[in-house]
Structure 1
Amino acid sequence: MKIENYIQELLYRYDCVIVPEFGAFLTQRKSAQIHETTQAFYPPSKTIAFNRQLQQNDGLLANYIANAEKLSYTDALQRIKGFVIDLENTLTTDKKVVLDNIGGFLLTNETLEFEPSYHKNYLPEAFGLSSFTIEKEAIQEPLPQEEKTPKVVSLPQNNTSKAKTNIWKYAAVGVVAIGISGFLTANWYSQSIKNHNIAEQQKAEKLVEQKIQQATFVIDNPLPEITFTLKKPTGGYHIVAGAFRDEANALKKINQLKQKGYNAFKLGENKYGLHPVVYQSFNDRRSATNKLNQIKRSENPEAWLLIKQL
């Protein structure tokens, strides 16, 4: 299976799919819309964007390919590397490349531009929905009809007709009485249900309080308090080692950097669901740039500088 097919499958599940050494495909939810002019309805969807700067391998694509094709993690990385080499070669020669149902790339003046594809909706909740045009049906007015003058017939009044009139009066009174009775009964039933729900809710709250009281205990011999002194990172210039989707991998990277003597720490989770790891922070840009160049030459060419006040 092509690598772009695996990328498509991951775009259904994740908001960020990184292709190592190439870039990341990012998705953002878009609400349903109705075009004011054409009255076309567009279901909710995910819009696709591309970020050339996110090239650090987070293991998501490689692990997915390894599980799907029963390969080792190293072999999966080699498959991705070959895929990226083909992309770069095609962009160099043809200046453009298209990934099915993902989008196309155009290389102009050493700048890589991305145009997303709109043929597939990667929002699982909108599966099966498609755009359509709302047609307004014309309201047909009824044809004019000839007016007919009703004929008035006078009937002789007698005692029998008066009796029937009285009977209908009593029947109307009876219907009104039945209606009032039904209304009162419905109100009583509704109030009874409401009272029952309130009583059951109070019982449930009481039961929860009892459970909490039973679970409360006191430790007779508590352990002595331990005070930790944490050094808060300072400075507005931070050298980033990489961003990891799995927080456990981020913590492992921090331990490795600390063993090398760096004052490493983890930034909070960003909007893409990644956990950036920082070598160390600096107060001035010159020192941060000098250290960044040293790290790029010696151990990590993909390290970069983040300017942000923590």
Structure 2
Amino acid sequence: MQLEPYISDLLYRYECVTVPGFGSFLTRRTSATIHDTTHAFYPPKKVVFFNQQIQENDGLLARYIADVEKIPYEDALQVIEKRVAYLKSYLVAGDAIVFENIGSLSLNKESNMVFEPSYSFNYLTDAFGLGQFTAPEIAREVAKPAATITKPETPVVPIAEKKRQSRGYLKYAAVGLIAITVGGLVASNHYSKQIEAHNQLAQETANAQLEAKIQEATFVINSPLPAVTLNVKKQYGNYHIVAGAFRLEANSDKKVNELKNLGFEARKIGTNKYGLHEVVYASYQTREEATRSLLDIKKTHNKEAWLLVKTIKE
């Protein structure tokens, strides 16, 4: 039985899929990128890695195969063991193993597994429907220098004639300046008095309203209530075991109350990009603690529960 389809399905939902006795496929999210030369835009994605050291069975792959194929868990483990023995013999023979849509594995001179990921497939569900595209380079116009404006030449007037003309203009200008100055002083004094009267009236009105409100709001508490201290336990951690996502917030509240009645530290962690209200069984500080709790929940309560890694502002 081929293991690739089951591993590929699980990589959409989990960051680590372990093949017992063989190794683990890990994923890491990368941001969108732009190629400097080709101007190609690449969407965010999950990059797949392989770690030969993580071989301990966590039950994830075997349980998924058992659920899909409708076979006992022990039979699924035997299927994995047979496939792993075949893959190892293939590698020892010097051949490379190709996992469709995941990558290829081969042995180097030191007999260590070398993994080459497949870049043609994206396991990031948030980037579903986003593909690579190339945008043309933006042509930027260079600003042209401003045109030089030529001023018209001033006609030449004899010095004696200019003096006679300027003396006549100065007489009328002096009389006009005196009239403007006197009128401006009178208007300025009148306007200043109006502003001062307006400000004084507004201040008195504001003081009266403030005093009336203070008198209305003054009261004495003869028997104040005792202070109440609430000890609230905050849930921290970036590893969350998801119980479900709901379109209606009332349904998510109902689910939280249901899980709390069963003894879980359930809560809502906000909405995802599709506007669904996410409800979790609990949140944990470390992946190991969350993985142990997830396996227990899958065995006793909900096989569809899954692990979400998400930073939440508390």
Scaled to the shorter chain, the TM-score interval is 0.3 to 0.5
Q: Give the TM-score, by structure 2 length.
A: 0.45
